[in-house]
Amino acid sequence: MNSSTQAPVLQIRRCGMNDLERVTALLREFGYPTTLSVMKERMESMANDPFHCTLVAELENEVVGMIGLRQVSSYYKQQDCITEVTALIVSEELRGNGLGKRLMAAAEEWAREQGCCELFLRSGNRVERAPAHAFYRHIGFEKSAGYRFSKTLL
């Protein structure tokens, strides 16, 4: 078979420091203001933390998506640990092709390996988030009640 007729291979793998530029670009594309140096600090900190995991989706040797995970203990849940999806980004031109679903499946696998029995995420209630909310419901997430409150500390 001619290699030009083969379908591109998607690989989900741990994020490495070589992925820093592309992950930073994805975050900026999604509207998160950050810089390469800030992301380098964050990624170095998380790389040594067993409760954090960053996975990337690589297509034809280019990082086209990422998911950030954080294992947390809960005061109010009976489960010993739960995993929070802290970021999920797929390059805009590739959305709707199953990459987000594959990243979420990899997140579920990582969470199970950590002994966690629940995966959760937070998402804003702005109207532009409606497609993301539909995606989350489509892959089995249920909306739960609650608000997110925040306070800037100086």
What is the predicted pLDDT for the residue at 84?
Answer: 92
Which among 50, 45, 89 is positioned nearest to 70, based on CA atoms? 50
What is the predicted pLDDT for the residue at 8?
Answer: 75
Structural domain harbouring 130: 7-138
Give domain status of residue 23, yes or no: yes
pLDDT digits over 130-154, tens only? Answer: 888 888 899 998 888 776 676 768 8
Which residues neighbour 117 within 8 Å (Cβ) at sequence distance 6 or greater? 79, 80, 81, 82
Domains of the chain: total: 1
Burial classification of residue 145, based on how many CB atoms lie within 10 Å of its CB (0-12 exposed, 13-18 middle, 19 or more buried): exposed
What is the predicted pLDDT for the residue at 69?
Answer: 96
Give domain status of residue 37, yes or no: yes
What is the predicted pLDDT for the residue at 1?
Answer: 47
What is the predicted pLDDT for the residue at 152?
Answer: 67
What is the predicted pLDDT for the residue at 31?
Answer: 81
- Whichever domain contains 115, its CATH number is 3.40.630.30
What is the predicted pLDDT for the residue at 77?
Answer: 64
Give domain status of residue 145, yes or no: no
Give domain status of residue 2, yes or no: no
Per-residue confidence band for 112, with pLDDT thresholds at 50, 70 and 90: very high
Give domain status of residue 151, yes or no: no
Strand partners, 63: 58
Give domain status of residue 22, yes or no: yes
pLDDT digits over 38-89, tens only? Answer: 998 888 888 888 899 999 999 989 999 999 999 988 776 666 788 999 999 9
Write down the pTM of the prediction. 0.85
Q: Which of 1-15, 69-83, 107-121, 122-136 has the highest mean pLDDT?
A: 107-121
Which among 94, 99, 109, 74 is positioned nearest to 10, based on CA atoms? 99
Give the integer Cα–Cα distance in Å for 27 and 92: 11
Give domain status of residue 146, yes or no: no
Give domain status of residue 148, yes or no: no
Return the higher-pLDDT residue of 5 and 118. Answer: 118
Instruction: Identify the residue whose tokens are 């964050």.
Output: 42
